Homo-oligomer: A and B are copies of this chain.
């Protein structure tokens, strides 16, 4: 095998491989550790954590859709304090690289979370989930409002200082994702995570009512991959120097490669792990083989390759 340099970076954070879990699709990591060593993949992105414990939404919380699924979890979680006490030390013990995803209901909550994370050793980066469509009032989705998005990132940036990279996670449910992206980068985000789930609904034709307890849910899985690739391509075209963590329906090395060509520096795998607990290490191997087959010596050379015009392509 050709030795492809498979490493990637998000600002000052280095990862040996570009394949990460997706927030909310690997819980805190313990559940997947039976299937593969967590240190073998690029990073574990933990389930978005809020300041206080939260029970989340009523069930049913899922509906399968053609090549996708809806979820409506409502950010169930133990709260940051319990999380830092129980989950982080365990992940560090596993030698996993850790990206902590945070979510809040107010700009303050995000800053509070950042303050609690500032002193914690062993965290590679913070993913700021400003885009979860599952919060009670859709009007309150930060990621749909350029001003609110900036404020959250600005608050986190000021609190956290310059040490830990911040990755802002955006929602595709906006008219112009590039302008939202520009806003959060201006406000201090080092990287962008694209995309969160797409707002959707399924109606149960037996009960003739919305199927999910929370009525609407977030659409994920291969169904949304073309939307994710488009978002990554658009944002990379506008800001080629901002690293992107791509996600949305990646289920094979081919899919991960597609996102990297579109402009992603790393790829998170979410829903695919539900259907296949070994998805991430398998995708990782497939991607490595594909890069070698295409003659890339390092992953970095493939990032955004689809943007090169045929003229500059030798």
Residue total for A at the interface (Cβ-Cβ under 8 A): 46
Q: Mark A170-182, 1 if CB is under 8 A from B, else 0.
A: 0001111000000
A:128-175 near B, CB below 8 Å: 144, 173-175
Q: Of the candidates B199, B233, B254, which one forms a contact with A210 in the assembled complex, judged by CB atoms under 8 Å apart? A: B233
Structural contact, B201 and A226, CB atoms closer than 8 A: yes
Interface residue? A276 (CB, 8 A): no
Instruction: Say yes or no: B223 contacts A68, CB within 8 Å.
Output: yes
Contact of A205 among B203, B210, B257 (CB under 8 A): B257
A239: which B residues are within 8 A, CB to CB?
Answer: none
Interface string of A79-107 (1 = CB under 8 A from B): 00000000000000000000000000000
Quick one: closest B residue to A290, CB to CB? B205
CB contacts (< 8 Å) of A227 on chain B: these are 198-200, 219
> How many Å from the CB of A20 to the closest CB on chain B?
20
Q: Are A65 and B261 neighbours in the complex by a CB distance under 8 Å?
A: no
Q: Within 8 Å of chain B (Cβ to Cβ): is A270?
A: no
Does B200 lie within 8 Å of A305, measured CB to CB? no
What CA separation (Å) do A200 and B262 show in the bound complex? 12
Residues of B within 8 A of A144 (CB): 175-176
- Given A66-B223, A216-B230, A294-B208, the answer on whether A258 and B202 have CB atoms closer than 8 Å is yes
Task: Say how far A285's CB is from chain B's closest CB, in angstroms.
Answer: 16
Q: Render A54-85 as a binary contact track against B, CB cut-off 8 A, 1 for contact.
A: 00000000010111101000000000000000
A288 part of interface (Cβ distance < 8 Å): no
Judged by a CB distance under 8 angstroms, whether A31 is at the interface is: no
Q: Does A278 contact B (CB under 8 A)?
A: no
Which of B174, B290, B310 is within 8 Å of A209, CB to CB? Answer: B310
**A200 near B229 (CB under 8 angstroms)?**
yes
Question: What 1/0 flags go to A257-269 for Cβ under 8 Å of B?
Answer: 1100110000000
Cα-based distance from A222 to B202 in the complex (angstroms):
12
Our pick among B70, B175, B200, B203 for the contact of A173 (Cβ within 8 Å) is B175
Query: Which residue on chain B has the smallest CB distance to residue A63?
Result: B226
A224 at the interface (CB under 8 A from B): yes
Question: CB of A42 within 8 A of chain B?
Answer: no
The residues of B that contact A208 with a CB separation of less than 8 Å are: 261, 294, 305-306
CB of A18 within 8 A of chain B?
A: no
- Which residues of chain B are near A201, meaning CB under 8 Å? 226, 229-230, 233, 262
Contact residues in B for A306 (Cβ distance below 8 Å)? 203, 208-210
Chain B residues, Cβ within 8 Å of A202: 226, 229, 258
Interface check A249, CB cutoff 8 A:
yes
Interchain Cβ contacts under 8 Å between A and B, 5 examples = A66-B221, A174-B175, A203-B229, A205-B258, A208-B261
Please name 7 further chain A to chain B contacts, defined as beta carbons within 8 Å, in addition to the given A66-B67, A67-B68, A222-B223, sorted by A numbering.
A65-B222, A66-B225, A68-B226, A70-B226, A200-B227, A201-B230, A203-B261
